[in-house]
Each structure stands twice: as structure tokens, then as C-alpha cells.
Chains A and B, each alone.
Chain A
């Protein structure tokens, strides 16, 4: 049996940590960051901060943001960070 999504407990595909829904949300989050950086020149952290204030951000995207932040707090800061481009 495949593993459970770290956010919602749904089944994941293969070795993913997140279910297809939350993986898709993470994918969109990364893609949109490219646009945000181009439009506003914000950093990844500023970007997440701002999205948390917006009502129209999808429910699963918000859950992914919380998950990323939690993970960052519990993870060795020298380790690679999930989600950041460059």
C-alpha cells in the first residue's frame, strides 16, 4: 500500500509525500512564484506570507503553505528547503 498524504491522509502516488491534490497545489505554488518574482521581486518567504493574507488562495494551497512552514521549523536549517526555486 502506498503512503498517506502528510496533509490530509489520502493515498499518495508512488513515493510522493503528498496526495495528487496537494502535490498539484504545491506545483501551482511553485509555478506562480516565478510570476510573483517577476511582477514584484519578492522572496519565497515574502511570497508565502502574502498568500496567507489572500482569501482567494485555494484551500489546498493554504494547507500546503502551513505544511511547508511547519516542516521548515522542524527541519535542520542547513538542509535543502522544499519549494524554493534557486
Chain B
């Protein structure tokens, strides 16, 4: 008969674990001063199921002072490091007192680097126990069945390789992030006396460099003209939309030549070719795949998808989402998952159709992850009402799961070539012969069909209209949150757990202007300074090699100390170079910041006086912001424009089509919109306002 302390990662996970492990499925929650735990009976044993709230311990420097270098760190209770984290105090105190009653410790946090580290730190510091005696529950979903199995077959030892890898990752990210941010910030302070935090980090540097490179391409882009041919033909009394054999014609002369030779002429069908293709189902979702697809269909940012998936996981509806795996291993009982899904009205049809098959073999992807399977539904039904966003993500995950078992889709494509005076036009048709898996994955896949008329070789087609259309080449696309995340994944930068946060941080630090990842002047200032003086911090190779060494720890091929010593040496070298160039670096950053602030505030020339500049200013009395003329101070001009008081304002490089005043983009929490500075009086804006009010009125009438 033992008393076992089970350590979970979050309160909601603790509740599920307690429920699964209690013999009667009815654990008692015991509340104690701002924290709680669950008490269960499991056979002869008493289980005390306690929870952390993510990390309860954080790194801090050993030596005091807001300066650099600071290369020695220690773990401390989170509430001592992060002032706001007061709730961790009660939790640590509770775990400490429970540990005194316990004679066994089981870590039941998520099975990944962070989870393993959280559990290890709690055992070591909060329980004051020797981590080598603790045991480990390993699971990929929070269903009763899986949790009971994980408890019965728990490992007799913690996963020390994961713990070491996590420990090192935290140390290195702390060392680089804190020291480099202080170096940049202090360079500014010592140059200009301002205190403005300018941050960078180990992965943030190369990410910034990727965004900067793309931004430069867009800013330096010059389109080229080209022509495409737009053609219509007539066959058997029917109108056909034809394509020309070349999609791009380089000169206006050549394009006009095509029109001259074919417009109004008769061509002949030279060939008709038919091809039948099969298309295999898509592969199972890993986190990156889910994030890309959710962005494509719902516009969810990767960080949002991860947060939503995390909630679905805590509700035991889906398996653990932070996985790289694209495979559904045989150990997963897919029939019971489908059986569970068939009890939901929305999924009954597809689930039953699949269950009626004798063999259920999912398509598999290439990527694997030893810790967790690909993301899949567990078959549990929601025990609460899901939010609309959760519902959409869940639907996507369920339907992708169904699609894995669907037969290949069969498609037919037909191409008919029509030749007229040595110019070839063609007509392409597509038809789905057998939808296969597509049936299961709707609406997340569309099978666009284009009808193919029954042309046969030798048929005459009259070209009723042939036109040359002038077009221009397009600039490279800027990143969006999903494509940037994908590039990080491709370059092997960061981990599946950290990438979404890094993508968000560029924006939240003011380095980019919006979700289109347009680099701000501040972003450029930091990028340029680093590029000139410490280019290694922007280098993908440098970051990636460290990343690879960290992975080797997880595989047991390197020790934490080895890698840490090397990383500290590298950092020390970078920081001493930084220090020797401090005033130069400071000057450049200050120049960049001044440009950034000037651009942020400058709206453009004043329409009233000759030489004034309109600026965004704040009234010293009311604190309200508005646009005023720079000649106001000398009493020469009193032109002002009102501004909305909430939201972030970006001055755009374009003018209002109605009144010619400068345009602004305003981003508030709820929406983003564009308006001119003259909105209070602009005739165009009045029209927009009226339309908006009408929309509101009709919505009001409906609701």
C-alpha cells in the first residue's frame, strides 16, 4: 500500500488523469489556499494527483545587474523571477506538502521536451526528491483507456535525455536572448541616453534575416510586361474558351502577330489526348501540416491553431498536437476511433461507411516522431459546447482522418489541340471519375470539374475572338504567418513548440508592420546593424548547427555540458566583439530608431501652409492623439485632423481616391481598416459610413 504523487502539466490534464486512474472514476478534489489536487483510490494505493501550470521554475542569472555578459544561471521558483506569476507560489507550496506524504513519484506531464523538464524540476525542487527514483507515465491522448494503460506500463525511470535536451535549450535560449538584447539595448542607452528595449534571440535573428531578404526583393521589384492570348472559338454551335500554347509572349509585336494570323480564322483539331490519373489521399497531420491547412481554410495563425489544438487535446478529443509525425501507427485502434466518431451526428455517415470495410489501411507520410503519433481524433465526443473555432479545427482533423482511409481518387484529363495558321491553341477538361477519398475530405478539397466537349480530330473550330492581353510579372510574395513557419521548419530552425511564438514575436516587437511581414524601419535598423557587425547572429547555419547539437543530446550522442561549454564560448566571443564596437552599434541603432519614429509620426506635407509637415501628435492636456501641422508651434498654421483614439496607426504610401488626402491603416483588436486623414469631411468616407450603417441596421433587424 503506497501513497503516490502524480505530477501533471496542467489542471485540466490532472482532472482527466485523476478520473481515469480512480477505481470509481470519481476522485475528490481537495482545495488548499489557491491551489488544489485530486485524491484517488487505485487498488491498494492512494494517488495524489497534483498539477503544475506549465513551468513552475524559471532560469535567472546568478550574478546581479542588468548588464552583459551574464553567463551563469540557476533555476528559481517562477514567482521570484516573473512578478506576475503569483499563482505558482501556492502550487509549489501544495506540492511540497503533498511530497512529504508520498513514497512514490510519477511524472505524468506531456511526453515532450518541455513536459519532461517541467516534471523533472518539480520532482527535484518542489518535492525535494531524487529524480532518479521517479517514474514516468507516457501517453499521446488523454482518454481513460490510454491513461490507464500508461499508468499500468509506466517507465521506471524519467526520460533523462529529453530532460537534458530541454534544460540545455532553456539555458542557451536564455543566454543568447538576454545577453544579446541587453547588448543592443545598452548600446542605445550609452549612445543616446534612451532606454528602449531592442531584442533579438538565437532563432529570432535568422528569422528576421529571412523576412528582410524577402522584403528587399519586394521593395526593389520592377515588373516586366508580357502578353497572353485570350481566345474564344466556336464548335458545333457552342462557345469554347481556348488557351494559347505559350502562356507568355515577350513582345507586343509577337502578340499582335498571333492575333493577326488567327482572329476570325478557322482552325482544325489536330489531336485529342485523354489521360486517367489517380491521386492518393493526403498524409496524416503533423503540427506543421495542421497549421498550414488551418491557415489556408480558416486564416488561423499558426500560434492560434496550436492553442486551439491544445484545448482539444486537453478535452481528450484529439491526440497530442505537438508532433512531427505523419504516421498512424498500428497500435492505434482505428476501428474504435471510427466507432466513437460514428456516434456524432455530423460524422455518422462517413464513419459508418469506413467501418463497413474489411481492411482499414491509412495512408502514411514520411516524417516520423518516436514520441507521438500523427494528430488524430480519439473518438471521444465533446463533453462541452465547442467554440466555433474549436469546432472548425476539430472538423478539419476528423475529416483528414477519414480521408486517410479513402481509396485513391480517379481523375480524367483531356487535352485537345487546335491548330490555326501554325499557331496552336488548346482546350483542357477535367473530370472526376471516382472521388475516392475526396468524398471524405470535403469541404477542404474541391474537385474542380471542367467539361470536355466531344471534339474529334479534324473538326473545324472557328476562332471567333483572339485578343492579346498585356500583363505584368508579379513581385515575390511576402511571407504570411503560415509560410514563414513553414520556412523555419524547412530550415530546421527552432522546434515545433517554439516556431509559432517566434513568428509572432517579430510583429509584437515592432519589427514588422502587419501580417504581410513588411519589415518596419525598426526591423531594418536591427537587421542592418547586426548584419554589419555580428552577421553570425543572422546566419541560418550558425543557428542550425547549434540546433543539431541540441538534438544530439536528445539522442544521447552528446552531453549537455559539452554543448553548453561550446555555446558559451561562441557567445562570449560575440559579446566581446559587440562591446568593442558598442558606440558604433549604438549610433547606428539610434539613427535607425530616429528614422523609425519620424516615419511613424510623419503623415506628409500640410495641405494648408506651404512648408509644414503633418505629424501625429498627442494633446498635452487631454492626452488624445490627432494630426497637426509642424508649423503650429510657430503659430503659422493651425491645421488639424481628428484621429480614432484606439488602435495602431500606420501612415500609408497612398492617397484617398475621393479627396486626395493621405491614407491611414488602423489596426485595432477587432479589425483593420483604411481611411483617409480627412475622413470627417471626405465625401467618399461619408458614403462608406452610410453603407456601414446600413449593413448594421439590416443586421440589427435580422438579429
Contacts and interface: CB of A to CB of B under 8 A. Distances in A.
A58 B475 contact: yes
B218 interface: yes
Interface in A18-48: 21, 24-25, 28-29, 31-32, 35-36, 38-41
A68 interface: no
B472 A58 contact: no
B574 to A, nearest CB: 23
Interface residues of A, number: 24
Given A9-B595, A56-B474, A59-B653, A38 B251 contact: yes
A21 B226 CA distance: 27
Given A9-B595, A21-B216, A24-B216, A57 B251 contact: no
Contacts of B224: 32, 35-36, 39
Contact of A61 (B221, B251, B474): B221
Given A9-B595, A40-B225, A56-B472, A61 B252 contact: no
Contacts of B591: 9
Nearest to B252: A40
A39 B473 CA distance: 13
A29 B93 CA distance: 67
Interface string B196-209: 00000000000000
Contacts of A41: 252
B529 to A, nearest CB: 11
Contacts of B251: 38-40
A27 B697 CA distance: 54
A57 B223 contact: yes
Contacts of A58: 218-222, 475
A28 B216 contact: no
A32 B653 CA distance: 23
A61 B226 CA distance: 20
Interface string B284-307: 000000000000000000000000
Nearest to A38: B251
A1 to B, nearest CB: 9
Contacts of B222: 28-29, 31-32, 51, 57-58, 61
Contacts of A54: 223, 472
B225 A28 contact: no
Interface in B201-247: 216, 218-226
Interface in B326-381: none
Interface in B527-569: 528
Contacts of A40: 225, 251-252
B250 interface: yes
A42 B23 CA distance: 85
Contacts of A8: 595
Interface centre among B222, B251, B472, B653 (most CB of A within 10 A): B222
Contacts of A61: 219-222
A28 B220 CA distance: 7
B218 A39 contact: no
A39 B653 CA distance: 29
Nearest to B218: A58
Contact of A60 (B219, B252, B474, B528): B219
Nearest to A29: B222
Contacts of B653: 59
B81 to A, nearest CB: 39
Interface in A44-86: 51, 54, 56-61
A21 B220 contact: yes
Contacts of A57: 221-223
A51 B225 CA distance: 11
A51 B252 CA distance: 17
A10 B222 CA distance: 22
A28 B250 contact: no
B553 to A, nearest CB: 40
A39 B221 contact: no
B216 A56 contact: no
B594 to A, nearest CB: 9
A41 B218 CA distance: 26
B287 to A, nearest CB: 34
Contacts of A59: 218-219, 653
Interface centre among B223, B250, B591 (most CB of A within 10 A): B223
Contacts of A39: 224-226, 250-252
Contacts of B223: 32, 51, 54, 56-57
Interface centre among B221, B472, B595 (most CB of A within 10 A): B221
A82 to B, nearest CB: 16
B220 A60 contact: yes
Nearest to B216: A21
B221 A56 contact: yes
A57 to B, nearest CB: 6
Contacts of A31: 222
Contacts of A35: 224
A31 B219 CA distance: 15
Nearest to A1: B587
A57 B250 CA distance: 19
A40 B475 CA distance: 20
Interface string B505-544: 0000000000000000000000010000000000000000
A31 B225 CA distance: 13
Contacts of B472: 54, 56
A60 B218 CA distance: 9
A38 B221 contact: no
Contacts of A10: 528
B619 to A, nearest CB: 30
Contacts of A28: 220-222
A29 B221 CA distance: 8
B216 to A, nearest CB: 7
A10 to B, nearest CB: 8
Nearest to B249: A39
Nearest to B528: A10
Interface string B244-270: 000000111000000000000000000
A9 B598 CA distance: 12
A56 B591 CA distance: 29
Contacts of A56: 221, 223, 472, 474-475
A41 B254 CA distance: 13
B651 to A, nearest CB: 13
A57 B472 CA distance: 10
A60 B220 CA distance: 6
Contacts of A51: 222-223
Nearest to A19: B528
Contacts of A21: 216, 219-220
A10 B251 CA distance: 38
A38 B249 CA distance: 12
B276 to A, nearest CB: 40
Given A56-B221, A56-B472, A59-B653, 8 more contacts: A9-B595, A21-B220, A25-B219, A36-B224, A41-B252, A56-B474, A57-B221, A58-B220
8 contacts: A8-B595, A31-B222, A39-B224, A39-B226, A57-B223, A58-B220, A59-B219, A61-B220
4 interchain residue pairs of minimum CB distance? A32-B222, A58-B221, A58-B219, A60-B219
Interface of B: 216, 218-226, 250-252, 472, 474-475, 528, 591, 595, 653
